[in-house]
Amino acid sequence: MPSRKTAKLVAYELLQFAALVAPPLTVVEKFARLVQLQNGLTSYWLVVAASIAYVTSVTLLAWLPLKYVVRKRRTTTSENQQWRPTMLAYIILCTLPCFAVILAGSKMDRKNGLDYFSELPVSLVLFALITVDVVERIRPFKLLGQSDPLQADYDTSGLVLTRQQHVTTVSDQQEQGTLTLEDKNGITPSRSASSSYLYVMSPRSRSHSGPLGSLWTRDQRAEVFVESFMFWLDTVEMVRVAGEPSVFYSDWVFPVYIFCFLSTLRLVITPSSPLLVSAGVFLQDLPFFFLRVALIAVFGFVSPLLYPLKNLLVCLTFIYFTFLTKLRIFRRHSMF
């Protein structure tokens, strides 16, 4: 009987494989229906067969070998990576061709007066993208039982001093005759300090009793799902704008999907990497701001004003705290 660790690994890999296979097959099937209207039933089955052949070849030639290499590297090294090769492969092999087919289908939709790419295929592509991100983020956590406190990121506000522990130094051990330490020249180190103390910090107890005590608990496994969906909320809203008929059947759909695809490249960077903030500004907030302003100027309020204001605020705060605060005028202590 397989262990729980093996079962969890198999479940994660099956979820990611389903996220890799389902979007291309669904999007291409919708595209095949449009082709059938122009060229007949034979063209439909040719397009469907081509999609199956693509998914099979990608799985055997790219996805499985990459998974084997990544899995082997995880077991042989413990280095913290700044990027995720599996996510890069997923974006290139799944998200990119799906967006390309949707763009091609938008022109055929406009020509035939149909609406095959309105909701289901686009939502499926984004949901699969979020699923892959959630799986990669939740891998280090256990699924059964309570969350491991060692995996939590403690902040200093939640730390309290519990005890001070005496640490015996080298000079103490020499005075007690328990340690003899000489360098290559036979000189004994000086006895400068006699003792020191190590202040041990531990997490502050945040437990609460009563009928509502369970509401005070914090579990990082649940936060992973919330953070992943919030991470993609801006991109999801931009794709929704592209689904508006006035935008979808115009040439503006091309820059919208291009910038949306560029924003998905943030998935390659690990969530703990400092590069994620810069990537979010240059790959999402800055281009999304100019694109939303242009779309509002051309089509009206197809996007709420909240989103361009959010993009502008993120860009301005990034510039201020990253560059302007280093100037001498902003480093004066007299300023607020």
pLDDT per residue as tens digits for the range 9-35 = 888 899 999 999 999 999 998 888 888
Beta carbons within 8 Å of 104's beta carbon, 6+ residues apart: 31
Instruction: From 223, 237, 221, select the one nearest 289 (Cα to Cα).
Output: 237
From 226, 219, 213, select the one nearest 143 (Cα to Cα).
219
Which is nearest to 87 in space by CA: 128, 118, 37, 51?
128
| Ramachandran area for residue 152 (φ above 0: left; ψ -120 to 50: alpha; else beta) | beta
Rounded to 5 degrees, φ, ψ at 273 are -80, 140
Four-point Cα dihedral 6, 8, 14, 17, nearest 10: -100
Q: At what angle do helices 120-138 and 233-242 cross, to 10 degrees?
A: 170
pLDDT of the residue at 178: 46
Tokens, residue 176: 């007690």
Tell me which amino acid residue 226 is. V
Nearest to 125 by CA among 23, 31, 254: 23
pLDDT digit string (tens) for the chain, length 336 residues: 567 788 888 888 999 999 999 999 999 988 888 888 888 888 899 999 999 999 999 999 999 999 988 888 775 444 567 888 899 999 999 999 999 998 888 777 666 655 556 667 788 899 999 999 999 888 888 777 666 544 544 333 444 444 445 555 555 555 455 444 444 444 444 444 444 444 444 444 555 566 666 667 777 888 888 888 888 889 999 998 988 888 888 889 999 999 999 999 998 998 888 888 899 999 999 999 999 999 999 998 888 899 999 999 999 999 988 888 887 776 665 555
**Cβ–Cβ under 8 Å, residues 161 and 199:** yes
The C-alpha atoms of residue 123 and residue 30 are separated, in whole angstroms, by 14
User: What ranges make up the beta strands (E) of the chain?
Assistant: 159-167, 196-203
